[in-house]
Amino acid sequence: MTTAPSLESLQYSDRYAAISQRLLRQAQEQLNLGDLIQASEKAWGAAAHAVKAVAEKWGWHHQGHYRLNAAVTYIAIEQQREELIGLYRHPAAMHINYYDNELYEDELQIAINSTKTFVAEMEKIRAETVPPFPPPSNPA
């Protein structure tokens, strides 16, 4: 029986992708257990790490909320897929809910489902060839 490689042995892009998948599973598990705060933060983390995986592979800065949000915009522009920005809003709202704890379980399930779609799309993009040019220095 083979074992999965440790996170430390993976390249950063692959490491972020693996963490994203783990957090996505944990988001659903925490929601199923009724821990809405942890489900919210795990969903946010899954989306954030999915973006970091793409940005890292493409050589883009992604540290901090501003750069992470800018990376989503740049990825959507690069891919000509504006709907990615809308998909990202659900996990971003989960990060806010972590602090405010105002959403209901059914709302969180919808957001987790949307996050699953977003993470899957980021993984497809990450599997593609790196674009030949860097993003603009400031979002327009």
DSSP letters, 29-62, are HHHHTT-HHHHHHHHHHHHHHHHHHHHHHHT---
Q: Give the C-alpha distances (Å, rounded to integers) separating 54 from 21, 34, 51, 130.
A: 14, 31, 5, 9
4 assigned to some structural domain: no
Domain residues for the domain of 99 are 12-127
pTM of the model: 0.85
In a domain, 136, yes or no: no
Determine, yes or no, domain membership for 132: no
In this structure, which amino acid lies at residue 1? M
CATH code: domain of residue 21 = 1.20.120.330
57 in a structural domain: yes
Establish if 140 belongs to a structural domain: no
Total count of domains within the chain? 1
pLDDT at 80: 92
Measured distance between the N- and C-terminal CA atoms of the chain, rounded to whole angstroms: 51
pLDDT tens, N- to C-terminus, the chain (140 residues)? 555 555 554 588 999 999 999 999 999 999 999 999 999 999 999 999 999 999 999 888 788 888 889 999 999 998 999 999 999 998 988 988 888 999 999 999 999 999 999 999 999 999 988 776 555 565 55
Q: Which of 48, 53, 68 is nearest to 126 (CA)?
A: 53
- Residue 139 belongs to a domain: no
